[in-house]
Structure 1
Amino acid sequence: MDDQNKNLIFATALSFVVILVWFWLFPPEDTANTVDPAVATEQTIVDATPAVETAATTATDGEATVSEAPRVQIETDNLAGSISLLGGRIDDIYLSKYTLTLDEDSETVRLLRPVGENDAYYAAFGWAAAEGIAGDAVPGPDTLWSIEAGDKLTPSTPVTLVWENGAGQTFRQTYSVDENFMFTISQSVENASGAQIALRPYGLLRRVTEPDGLKNFFVLHEGLVRMSDGVLEQTKYKNIRKYDLSELDQTQAERIEVAEKGWIGYTDHYWMTTIIPAQDTPFRSVSKYFESRDLYQAEAVQPVHTISAGSSTSVDTRLFVGAKEWETIREYQNNDDVDGFIDSIDWGWFFFLTKPIFWLLHTLNAGIGNMGWSIVALTIILKALVLPLAYKSYVSMARMKELQPEMEKLKERVGDDRAALQQGMMKLYKDNKVNPASGCLPILIQIPIFFSLYKVIFVTIELRHAEWLGWIRDLSAPDPSSILNLFGLFNWATPEPGSIFFIFSLGILPILLGISMWLQQKLNPAPTDPAQKMIFAWMPWVFMFMLGSFASGLVLYWITNNTITFLQQYTIMRSHGHKPDVFGNILATFRRKPAEAKK
């Protein structure tokens, strides 16, 4: 077996192992959890002031009042919904520009839902009694507020709610919203009593059950996400459940004392809800779970405010509710002082590659206007960057071709003496300055780039529902065409990804991928060794089936990469006097063996 074939076998086997490991690490999504309507009240109603360690957490019967309470409408270009006057809860948010599917009649994405509905999920803000004031004298999640100013929340018209406790204190909450996804909640307290009081402001998120449609992919983080003084923490729902407060033992809560910069919230695949206290003040970042109600709670608890008689105090807290758009989130980080907010997007282990790759892809798309062609352009740029190393590799492979006659003479001279053959080969390589291992370098470089691009395509919302051409309307999804319906000629359904029958439903892009790999092999004659020959014959088609369920954008990248690699290798081999007989090698694949060769 010559060393060039050894290198190619090694590279092919390595790629095969990588794909197998990938499928093992990133299995198909699990069935999503749903909420039984019969127990919705038990799961969704958790009352009182849970933001302070001494506060009790109890269940109340508030489902009817939630549905009947007055509401303030929210209307922006990106958001729609309402705020409930019961508790001042932001619990009804639609993302106006995003739909669940590509169907014309698809529903708009709904991120927050009120108590009483499946997957209830809302934000609330308030004060917890610390000193000089009773616990029932501060507004809580079931306090019925009144509108003091404004009748609709828009970017130009804030809304103020007011509540008086009858003991001399007046509480206000003023809501404002920008053009994108950021709310600002200004909480204030006027103390007209004759005594000093102390209160602790808080903001919280409550989420009932794991979200519907949870992916449970290793490559994707869904769950708690928070920044604490420059340290990012990501905790999946299964790990949040370790902190169960069902027995009112709040020592089990996961707390982090943040000195001045941070935020806390829950992230989904493409959406996120995050509480952001003022970035120049300390706060306590808390994650909780209540097993009896299957309720997740994230809190930002700020320091105690002491309010003397006849004075007042206020605090501002921001709330992000929306899509994880890279450009929007970067704007909040760079211009609105939300520390490390860009890391709320799950860049993964290869963040040092995924971040610049996405930036380049985003920049290309801004100029080209089509994400598919931007992936093609990105592939060309990445191949150009590694061309010097690839050039050395292909030159080394061409030189090994030139040494083939001398290798054959060496084998005849030493016979079965394997040690002498090895020594002779090493001397031959050294004298001609050939590195037999260099043929593996392009594959080794391609693997982390492939993983990083997969992460970018799978995680970033900019690839979601991004069209390329014709039948490819979503580059984050598998190729929807199929040989079972003659690539869309007949309008019948085909097996979904994850089905055992999906291997019989390949789209156009996976087939082109297999062909591009097969043609790349034909730059060299098939190896004479039967085992090698069998591996070479099957690998393109094995990869074709294995990658058939991958995102179309990733398969497009691989096809482009294979095509450029073919052209590079062909050109370099020609420049060193070796003319690959691609057409002849293709014909040899189909040529029948002579009768004597079959014996």
Structure 2
Amino acid sequence: MDDQNKNLILATALSFLVIMTWFVLFPPPEQTVDPNAPATSETAESTEAVTTPTASTTGGTASTVAADNGETEVADAPRLSIDTPSLEGSLSLQGGRIDQLSLKNYRQTLKPGSDIVELLQPVGSDAPYYALFGWAPGAGLTPDQVPNANTIWTVETGDTLTPDTPVTLIWDNGAGLSFRRQISVDTDFMFGITQTVENNGENSSSLAPYGILVRHGEPADLKNFFILHEGGIRMVDGELAETDYDDFEPANARTTENVTETGWTGFTDHYWMTTLIPDANSGARFSTYQNSRSGIYQADAALGTQTVAPGQSVSAHTRLFAGAKEWETIRTYQNEEGVEGFLDSIDWGWFFFLTKPIFWLLHNLNALIGNMGWSIIALTLIIKAALLPLAFKSYVSMAKMKELQPEMEKIKERAGDDRQALQKEMMALYKKEKVNPASGCLPILLQIPIFFSLYKVIFVTLELRHAPWIGWIKDLSAPDPSTIYNLWGIFPWAGPEPGSILALIFIGILPLILGISMWLQQKLNPAPTDPTQQMIFAWMPWVFMFMLGSFASGLVVYWIANNMITFSQQYLIMRSQGYKPDVFGNILSSFKRKPKSDDK
């Protein structure tokens, strides 16, 4: 076995091993649950009260204690409509809660007439998920003297919440305190909530503003996919923390962090997110926890306790992001509106130093080209161009190794079974001819982290969701929907369900092209004479084809483009060094019948 074939097999086997490990650890996500399916009894019937804050009597931030407020939905509670270019829904005057919100520009599926994505839902629905705001009572106040989750507010101004028309709610506690809540919204996904309390009584009162995000149970479309974080997320003074749903602490052992300067906290899904963003230097305290009996998850932002003297008023401002994790929109909130580290709400992973620039380049290519599939191919060209100097050196070395093949065979004949003499003469030959037999592995090995980073980008970023390429490829974040099972749509029956064993076998057109492209790349060199090597090389393209058949189409497009560009580079560079790959002859030789062995 010559050293070049050894290196090629080693690099291919290592690449295969890494991808196989990745496939086992990070299998394709299971099919999502129908959001319109009946909810479980735990989610649908849970009317247990949320946990609400109380103000510190020492002037610090609000603390959080369990309080049964009998939190149930009032069926006939008045509502105000929410209507923006990106959102539609309503807020309930019961608690002034924002609890009904849908994303106008996103559909559940690609099927015609599919419903738009529903983000927030009120208590009594299949999956309650909402935002609450209020004041926690401090010294001199009782819980019924501050607005809570069930307080019925009155509209002071506005009848529909739009980017041009904020609304103001008012409630008087009948004991000298008047509460107002002004709610605004921009054209994207950011709400502004300004809470004001005016003291018309004779005594000072202490109280603390807060915001709560409440989620009854885990989301129906939870992926439970190792590569993706879903659950609690918070940024505290530049430090990001993530909490999976399995890791939420009960209320009596909740995770609590003080915010010195800036931060945000909330829940993140695959493509959607809700976060509370208190003003900077507001003395906020973040808490995340779960009511273990009801399965209700909470993320709180409790601000510092304030004292309001007779005749005075105090205010607090908190923003609420509720919408899609659009990279450009989130970047604007971070860079122009001071939400520190907001781009980290997108799960870039451990290889963020690769995933972030890869997505930035892909995003800008898409803005220029207007098609994400062609942008992936353009990205592949740029990556290959950046690695060309290394590839050139590698392919030049491979061409020289081919030229040295006759001399290497002579050394093997002279050395016979003396492995030490063989190794010594080989090393002397490499040194004399300035050839590095290991250089052929490096370009392949460098593709592995790039491959994984692109896989992460394609899976986690919203911009790839439902992004079409050509013809039948309508969603680059999903596997190729064509299948040999129905002869790629000729027969009327549907293909296997995504994630099933049959889906791994009856693969689509793109995986087939991938296998062929890998097979062609092998034909740049003659088949090895060793039977074991021949078997490995014969099976490798088709094993990869089936392995990657259930991966996102965008990733398969990248791999095909990478194979074809590599083929062209290697062919041209090796010819420039005097070695002429006989691709057509190597293909013909692979179909020749082998002579039968002599059994005599």
Same fold per superposition (TM over 0.5): yes
**In the alignment, what sits opposite 2:188?**
180
How far is 1:233 from its partner? 0.8
Distance in 2, matches of 1:442 and 1:517, equals: 15
Q: What amino acid does structure 2 have at the position aligned with 1:43?
A: S
1:224 aligns with 2:227: no
**In the alignment, what sits opposite 2:66?**
57
**In the alignment, what sits opposite 1:418?**
419
Distance in 2, matches of 1:555 and 1:451, equals: 12
Distance in 2, matches of 1:459 and 1:586, equals: 40
How far is 1:484 from its partner? 1.7
- Which secondary structure does the structure 1 equivalent of 2:15 belong to? helix
- Which secondary structure does the structure 2 equivalent of 1:578 belong to? coil
How far is 1:594 from its partner? 2.4
List per-residue Cα deviations over 1:189-232 (Å, max 9, x = no partner): 00011111111111110001110010011111101111000001
Greater alpha carbon shift after TM alignment, 29-38 vs 309-318: 29-38
The 5 A counterparts of 1:527-546 are 527-546=528-547
**In the alignment, what sits opposite 1:6?**
6
Q: What amino acid does structure 1 have at the position aligned with 2:137?
A: A
Going from structure 1 to structure 2, the CA distance change for 1:31 and 1:57 (only over 3 Å counts) comes to farther
How far is 1:582 from its partner? 0.4
Going from structure 1 to structure 2, the CA distance change for 1:480 and 1:39 (only over 3 Å counts) comes to closer
Going from structure 1 to structure 2, the CA distance change for 1:188 and 1:60 (only over 3 Å counts) comes to closer
Contact 1:372/1:475 (8 A) holds in 2: yes
Distance in 2, matches of 1:430 and 1:40, equals: 71
Contact 1:230/1:339 (8 A) holds in 2: yes
How far is 1:15 from its partner? 1.2
Contact 1:41/1:61 (8 A) holds in 2: no
- Which secondary structure does the structure 2 equivalent of 1:50 belong to? strand
List per-residue Cα deviations over 1:80-110 (Å, max 9, x = no partner): 0000000011000000010000011101100
How far is 1:444 from its partner? 1.1
1:73 aligns with 2:76: no
Distance in 2, matches of 1:598 and 1:283, equals: 84
Distance in 2, matches of 1:326 and 1:525, equals: 47
List per-residue Cα deviations over 1:489-519 (Å, max 9, x = no partner): 2332111232111233211100000000000
TM-score, length of structure 1 as denominator length: 0.96
Going from structure 1 to structure 2, the CA distance change for 1:527 and 1:112 (only over 3 Å counts) comes to same
User: Where do 4+ consecutive residues of structure 1 move more than 6 Å?
Assistant: 31-35
**In the alignment, what sits opposite 2:409?**
408
The match for 1:145 among 153, 166, 179 is 153
Q: What amino acid does structure 1 have at the position aligned with 2:235?
A: M
1:197 aligns with 2:200: no
Fraction of identical pairs, as percent: 62
Q: What amino acid does structure 2 have at the position aligned with 1:472?
A: I
- Which secondary structure does the structure 1 equivalent of 2:501 belong to? coil
1:480 aligns with 2:481: yes
Going from structure 1 to structure 2, the CA distance change for 1:78 and 1:532 (only over 3 Å counts) comes to same
Contact 2:108/2:114 (8 A) holds in 1: yes
1:380 aligns with 2:381: yes
- Which secondary structure does the structure 1 equivalent of 2:130 belong to? strand
Q: What amino acid does structure 1 have at the position aligned with 2:528?
A: P
Q: Which structure 1 residue ranges, 5 or more long, are not aligned?
A: none
- Which secondary structure does the structure 1 equivalent of 2:192 belong to? strand
Contact 1:84/1:91 (8 A) holds in 2: yes
The 5 A counterparts of 1:230-309 are 230-240=238-248, 243-245=249-251, 249=252, 252-309=253-310
**In the alignment, what sits opposite 2:371?**
370
The 5 A counterparts of 1:304-319 are 304-319=305-320
Greater alpha carbon shift after TM alignment, 103-112 vs 41-50: 41-50
Distance in 2, matches of 1:543 and 1:422, equals: 33
- Which secondary structure does the structure 2 equivalent of 1:548 belong to? helix
Contact 1:44/1:295 (8 A) holds in 2: no
Going from structure 1 to structure 2, the CA distance change for 1:436 and 1:153 (only over 3 Å counts) comes to same
Residues matched between the structures, number: 591
Distance in 2, matches of 1:465 and 1:541, equals: 28
Q: What amino acid does structure 1 have at the position aligned with 2:66?
A: T
Greater alpha carbon shift after TM alignment, 275-284 vs 206-215: 275-284
How far is 1:32 from its partner? 7.0
Going from structure 1 to structure 2, the CA distance change for 1:102 and 1:35 (only over 3 Å counts) comes to closer
How far is 1:42 from its partner? 5.5
- Which secondary structure does the structure 2 equivalent of 1:471 belong to? coil
**In the alignment, what sits opposite 1:126?**
134
Distance in 2, matches of 1:55 and 1:19, equals: 46
**In the alignment, what sits opposite 2:59?**
none
**In the alignment, what sits opposite 2:100?**
92
Contact 1:51/1:299 (8 A) holds in 2: no
**In the alignment, what sits opposite 1:439?**
440
Distance in 2, matches of 1:442 and 1:363, equals: 26
Contact 2:43/2:217 (8 A) holds in 1: no
How far is 1:43 from its partner? 2.6
Going from structure 1 to structure 2, the CA distance change for 1:55 and 1:269 (only over 3 Å counts) comes to closer
Distance in 2, matches of 1:56 and 1:225, equals: 21
- Which secondary structure does the structure 2 equivalent of 1:68 belong to? coil
Distance in 2, matches of 1:513 and 1:408, equals: 35
Q: What amino acid does structure 2 have at the position aligned with 1:57?
A: A
- Which secondary structure does the structure 1 equivalent of 2:439 belong to? helix
1:168 aligns with 2:176: yes
**In the alignment, what sits opposite 1:563?**
564
Q: Which structure 2 residue ranges, 5 or more long, are not aligned?
A: 56-61
Distance in 1, matches of 2:449 and 2:51, equals: 49
- Which secondary structure does the structure 2 equivalent of 1:22 belong to? helix
Distance in 2, matches of 1:48 and 1:449, equals: 45
